[in-house]
Amino acid sequence: MFSPNQRRVALAGLLVCAGAAVAAFQLQKPIAVRAAKLTETVPVRVFGLGTVEARVVSKVGFEVGAAIVELNADHGDLVKKGQVLARLNATQQRAKVARANAALQSAEVAVKKAEANLFKARAIMAQRLEVNRRKQELVSRQVNSTQTGEEAQRDVDVAVADVRVAESDIEVSKALLADAQSQLAYETAVLEQHTLLAPFDALVVDRQKELGSVIKAGDPIYTLLEQGSVWALAYIDESRAGAIRVGQPVEVRLRSLPGQVFQAKVVRIGIESDRVSEERRVYVKCERCPDSFHLGEQAEVLITVDTLKAARFLPEALVSGFDGSKGTIWTVEAGRLQRRKVQLGYRTEDARIELREALPPGVVAVTYAAGDLKEGSRAVVREDAK
């Protein structure tokens, strides 16, 4: 008879043997796996999430302040370049323009008066020169006294000085005329600033003010979106953005229209990436945009960066140590599971990685396993592995 301790030892031994037998059986049981197949004409696409934006969105307003007396556009209106959008009360400014115009007319008359004075001064100077010439001849023949000759010369000097004063008066009058012209141009420009014109063909996104509002210079009146400048701004993970180029085809889906796909192209790649999210900004423009759009709406983009004639792809979950060009995959070699470091390529939007390296004969890459993957375990390649 066995003692209780001996029976416990014997039972423990039996359990260990049974566990070892089960483990050996499991180790010998082959795991069903699927192998990577060669797929032809594979588009390589990069996924990005972003929003609908516009390249040109401007908040426009007046350069001067006054009360709004006219508004000619509202939310959703299409306006043409140069169209009058709004006007301010310009009564005071029109009076300033009238005053500047009167000052200009006065300056023009002053110039004409100065020119007439110069003409008169020159005529007097010519007459006194002639008188002085005759009197100096008489003095030289001692017909007239020396004093008479000196007085005649003095009259000539005074006449010359008067001409010079008249010439200076003309220059002053012309300067005043130029100042009056500039003042009129300034007041006219300020008057024109009381009218707000559309700077480009645009869609009115919003109107911030109403009739009668007294505004300050620079207050926004309208938010305008330039027609044809709508695009989508997508944020792409830097690790997937390296192959993106301007001109590549894009598929865009809007959150409000999930059943529609809009064809687009990459038109700009941001130079500066987001330092926090480590994403690159990519702008895409639709070839045919939807009739209605909403700025800030969520948009999904798929950028086709390449099309492979034939390639094999592996699930990212079965790849470890991927550094952008190489990684370790599971393979079946001589009927057993092995780990192999290989050259890898593109990553797709559905979490697959291109197997770029050709494997030796008899070696297949695993894309699915019906059980836990353990190096050295037996494996059998089956297309219906589940």
Residue 35: per-residue pLDDT: 87
Residue 324: per-residue pLDDT: 81
Q: What average pLDDT does this structure show over 84-90?
A: 95
- Structural domain contains residue 23: no
Spatial contact of 221 and 60, defined as CB atoms under 8 Å apart: yes
Run of H or E including 79? strand 78-79
Spatial contact of 374 and 337, defined as CB atoms under 8 Å apart: yes
- Structural domain contains residue 284: yes
Spatial contact of 248 and 305, defined as CB atoms under 8 Å apart: yes
Q: What average pLDDT does this structure show over 78-82?
A: 93
- Structural domain contains residue 317: yes
Q: Are residues 82 and 217 in the same domain?
A: yes
Of 257, 283, 308, which closes a domain? 308
Find the CATH number of the domain harbouring 370: 2.40.420.20
Token pair 């695993």 is found at: 366
pLDDT 10s digits, 120-147: 988 988 888 888 777 777 777 777 777 7
Spatial contact of 177 and 107, defined as CB atoms under 8 Å apart: yes
pLDDT 10s digits, 303-314: 999 999 989 899
Q: How far is residue 338's CA from residue 376's CA, in Å, rounded to a whole number?
A: 6
Q: Are residues 255 and 124 in the same domain?
A: no
Percent of the chain with pLDDT over 90: 48
* pLDDT over 90 at 289, yes or no: no
Q: Are residues 360 and 281 in the same domain?
A: no
Domain span at residue 77 reads 68-87+195-225
Q: What average pLDDT does this structure show over 315-330?
A: 89
Single out the residue of 342, 231, 230, 336 nearest to residue 281, CA to CA. 231
* pLDDT over 90 at 183, yes or no: yes
Q: What average pLDDT does this structure show over 282-289?
A: 88
Report residue 156's pLDDT band, with 50, 70 and 90 as the boundaries. confident
Token pair 């983009």 is found at: 301
Residue 17: per-residue pLDDT: 57
Q: Are residues 148 and 283 in the same domain?
A: no
Number of domains in the chain: 4
- Structural domain contains residue 353: yes
pLDDT 10s digits, 229-255: 889 999 999 988 888 999 999 999 999
Q: Are residues 352 and 268 in the same domain?
A: no
- Structural domain contains residue 149: yes
Q: Are residues 72 and 205 in the same domain?
A: yes
Spatial contact of 385 and 354, defined as CB atoms under 8 Å apart: no
Tell me the DSSP string of 70-110: EE---TT-EE-TT-EEEEE--HHHHHHHHHHHHHHHHHHHH
Report residue 20's pLDDT band, with 50, 70 and 90 as the boundaries. low
Residue 25: per-residue pLDDT: 46
Cα dihedral 145, 149, 152, 158 in deg (nearest 10): -130
Find the CATH number of the domain harbouring 202: 2.40.50.100
Of 308, 323, 338, which closes a domain? 308
- CA of 385: how far to CAs of 34, 38, 100, in Å? 6, 18, 93
Q: Are residues 155 and 167 in the same domain?
A: yes
Q: Quick one: tokens of 294?
A: 């909403």
Q: Are residues 113 and 144 in the same domain?
A: yes
* Sign of the four-CA dihedral 228, 229, 232, 237: positive
Question: Phi, psi at residue 88, to the nearest 5°?
Answer: -105, 160
Spatial contact of 257 and 75, defined as CB atoms under 8 Å apart: no
* pLDDT over 80 at 227, yes or no: yes
Q: Are residues 349 and 368 in the same domain?
A: yes
- Structural domain contains residue 8: no
